[in-house]
Structures are given as structure tokens and as C-alpha cells.
Amino acid sequence: MSKELLTMSAQALKAAYQTGALSPVEVCNTLLDHVERHDDALNAWCLIDRDTTLNWAREAEQRYQNGTANGLLEGVPVAVKDVFLTPMWPTLKGSKTIDPASTLEKRSPAVAALERHGYVPLGKTTTPEFGWKGITDSPLCGPTNNPWDPSKTAGGSSGGSAAAVSAGMAPMALGTDAGGSIRIPAGFCGIVGHKPTFSEVPHWPASPFGTLAHAGPMTRSVADAALMMTVMSEADARDSLAAPRRGIDYVAALQQPIKGLRIALSTTLGYADVNPEIEKATREAARVFESLGATVSEVDPGFSNPLAAFSHLFYSGAANAMRDLGERQRSLMDPALVEVAAKAEKLSMLDYLGAMNERMAVSERMAVFHTKYDLLITPCLPIEAFDTNREVPVDWPSTRWPTWTPFTYPFNLTGQPALSVPLGLSSNGLPMALQIVGARFDDARVLAAGHAFEQAQPFAHLPPMLDELLKGA
């Protein structure tokens, strides 16, 4: 039974807790043992504190025994990306420049919501410094590797969370996404990752990347992502930009029908180069939606590549994150981060406002697009995972990560919900992923479509390291 725990969903764990078939302490011990034995190959975790985790697990177990367990995540272990404030553990964001003590006794809204619902914090997962890039390595923690092939990157910036969930070390994890940082590693690692509509999930303190930044769930199933969304979208007064709370039960909303939906298919967004295998798999996904009763039309949204505008805004956010750091502190940092921030510091106010103008134009284009199409489906990524500890693949024509993520950052500019779900494996045995995009605040429909696709085309594969373990190899 202990090995089976490594692939159980959060909802299955809760059901087993309620009947007494499993206990939170047993589950957490099993997961922590798995981390201890296998994380050296991945480096998904930057902090494990068994005593603290087991204390939380015992408290959850006691609530079940007392009949007082009523949280949606009671006793469920969750991995926490090390950009979220946790009161008992420091939040270092992959950086040597942060005073650990300054971050204690504080809770991010997502952490506070999880705590209200009885979660068990399993540990903190790795991130590139300040979450600035689409791979995960940092001066503090080093590179995070992909469970499907540890010589490949897990993606980023939520790479530690994705690797942990993919490798069976946690059933669910917190991630953040300012340019693809949930969807990129979810796609590379073969799990589900949802970037919610901006302001649907409260965020505090305000991200240095401004309104590009979103917090969201990373799980092995869309149903578990919906469960996390129900929790994470609860109100938190500290986020002055949060939308009014709608109290959506995202799990119940998974049952809304797909039949009759108008879905747009774009394999390139009109400008991206895509691996032929990934393009083929995306077209096959469109046929799955047609078989479910949706009407699929191949059409591009009609905007040109907004990379320049995104880069101005995103790298300005990186410079903003470093605004109070002196030369000595910067000497301890990722040199590439220091480089892009230095370039962004030279941008003028008109450069920034020009990027905002393009951002608004793309947002308006997509708002009108969704009056005709309920959903847009695209590849999540145009390439497979590449060699670890590199910002771009070998012989790539650019040195910066957004050039290989053309499908993710546009929807940070627009603030729309975007879900990454596994498509299958490439001929190299690496995960491919589909992106499902909806109109702003239509997260429920996006998740329902992802759930329907997942049920129609299950992703039945496991990373080799986990598959061999479960088979007793």
C-alpha cells in the first residue's frame, strides 16, 4: 500500500482518511521517505522539515478521530513553492540576498486558505531566483531536473513543484506564473497546471512583476486542480486588486457540458514554430473535443507576437524586485538576472507605456475573440524538455527563455485563465502538453474542458523512476 500512496489523488486520500483506511501521518511519512531516497536526482525540494510536517499531520489525524475534520484539504500534503510566505519556514526565493528571519510569521493568501482547510505543508520547493525564468536553477539551490529524464530541465519557474508532483513526492503543489511559470514545468513534467484569471486567486504581497503574476495549483489531475482552486480563490482582504468573490465550487463545475462549445484551434498563434510531433498531438486533441460534441474551428486569434512588450514589462518586474539591492548583494545573484534587470533599468517611461499599449491591444483582441469562441486550444510548449541547467536549448537562436515559450506569456498579458494538461509522450519519451485558454473569469469552463479531455484521453504514463519503483524494480 505504501507505494500506491505515491500516485493517489488528493480526493482519494481524503476519502481514505474519512474511512480510516489511511492516516495523514502514514501518508506524510511515506512521501517524506520517498523524497529522502529519490530527490537527490531531481533537487525538487529546498526545505524538508519532517518534524514540523508530522506535527501538522498529527493534528489533522486528531481532527478525523474527533469528528471535527471539515476542511476541503484536511490532512492532504501540499508542496509549497518557495516564493509563498509560510509562518514556520523561511521564504528565500532561490536567493542568497534574503534575510530568512524577515520572512517568518507571515502567510501568503494561498497558504492561509490552505491552512484554513486543513492542509499539511510538506516542504518548500525550488525556484529560480525571484522566479524570473522558465527553467529552475538558482545560486542558492542549483538546478532542478526532470523526473522523466534527469538530464533534462523540469522547466520553471515552478519547476520544483512540478518535479515533486510528477515524481510522486506530493499530490499537489502551489505554483506561480508571470510568463508561463506554472504551465511550462507542468508541460515538461507531464502534470496539470492552471494559471487562473488574474485577481481570481488573491496574492500578497504584491508581486514585483505586477499584474503579470498569478498563483495557481499544480496537480496530477484536473479534478485536484479544481479542488485547490475552490480553496485558493477564497477572499483575502490584503489583495486590493482581487476581484469580488464568486464562491465557485470548481469541482462541481467540472460537470458542465462540452457539447456545443465553440473551440478555436491554433497550433502556432500565427507566429510560433512548433515541433511536428507536438503539432500533430494538438490536432488530435482537437478531434477529441469534436468527439465530445464541441465545434472546433482552426483559426488564429489575430495578434502578432507580443514578445517585445512582454519582455519590457517582465524584465522591468525583475528590476523592480532588485531595486533595493546594492552591488555586494547583486554579486551573489544569478548573473543573467542581473543582466536583464540592468537592461530594463534603462527603459524609459514611454517604453513602458508603449508596452502597456500593446498589452491592452492584445487583451482587447482576445476579449472580442471570445465573443465568437468559448475556448482557444494551443500547444502549451513548442518543444520538449531540453538539457538541464540551460536557459535555452543547445544552438537556440536566442539567449533568453521567453523565445521558446511563445504560447504562454501572451495570456499573462491578457490575464486570462490558461490550463496545461498532458497530451501524451513524444517519440523521445518526454511529455507533451495542451493549453486550454478561456475568457477572463471563465476558469470553470477551462477546467471543465480540461477534465473532459483528461477523461477522454487519460495520461496513463508515469516517469520511469516512479514506474520502476511501483513495479518493484
Q: What is the pLDDT of residue 473?
A: 52
Q: Determine the average pLDDT of the residues in 251-277.
A: 98
Looking at residues 449-461, what average pLDDT do you find? 97
The one-character DSSP state at 394 is T
Question: 471: helix, coil or strand?
Answer: coil
- For residue 30, what is the enclosing H or E element? helix 24-38
Q: Give the active site residue among 138, 158, 161, 181.
A: 181
Examine the residue annotation and report whether 426 is marked as an active-site residue of this protein. no
Identity of residue 287: R
Which H helix or E strand runs over 425? strand 418-425
Residue 53 confidence (pLDDT) above 60: yes
CB atoms within 10 A of CB 323: 9
Is 363 an active-site residue?
A: no
Per-residue pLDDT tens digits for 226-248? 999 999 999 999 999 999 999 99
What CA–CA distance (Å, rounded) separates 228 from 231?
5
Indicate the pLDDT class of residue 3, thresholds 50, 70 and 90.
confident
Q: Which of 428, 77, 419 is nearest to 221 (CA)?
A: 419
End-to-end, the C-alpha distance of the chain in Å comes to 16
- Mind listing the pLDDT tens digit for each residue in 204-228? 999 999 999 999 999 999 999 999 9
Model confidence pLDDT, tens digit, residues 58-83: 999 999 999 999 999 999 999 999 99
Please give the radius of gyration of the chain, using alpha carbons only, rounded to the nearest integer.
Answer: 21
Q: Spell out the residues 6+ positions from residue 410 whose beta carbon is closer than 8 angstroms to its own.
A: 269, 303, 306, 310, 362
Cβ of 444: how many Cβ atoms within 10 Å?
20
Catalytic-role residue among 14, 81, 124, 195: 81
Q: Which of 95, 157, 158, 363 is catalytic?
A: 157
pLDDT in tens, 331-374: 999 999 999 999 999 999 999 999 999 999 999 999 999 999 99
Supply the pLDDT for residue 317: 97
Average pLDDT over residues 266-285: 98
3-state secondary structure string across 268-312: CCCCCCCCHHHHHHHHHHHHHHHHCCCEEEECCCCCCCCHHHHHH
Distance CA 87, CA 97 (A): 19
Per-residue pLDDT reduced to its tens digit, 4-14: 899 999 999 99
Query: What pLDDT is stored for residue 2 in this prediction?
Result: 76
CA distance 190 to 471: 20
pLDDT at 472: 80
Residues in Cβ contact with 123 at an 8 Å cutoff, skipping those fewer than 6 apart: 35, 45, 47, 48, 49, 53, 79, 80
Does residue 181 have an active-site annotation? yes
* b/e code 107-128 from CB counts within 10 Å (16+ = b): bbbbbbbbbebbbbbbbbbbbb
Question: If we measure between CA atoms, which residue out of 437, 325, 389 comes closest to residue 97?
Answer: 325
Q: Tell me which of 472 and 401 has the higher pLDDT.
A: 401
pTM strictly above 0.95: yes
Q: What are phi and psi for residue 47, nearest 5 degrees?
A: -150, 125
Asked whether the CA dihedral 228, 229, 231, 232 is positive or negative, the reply is positive
Question: What percent of the chain stands above pLDDT 90?
Answer: 99
Average pLDDT, the chain: 97
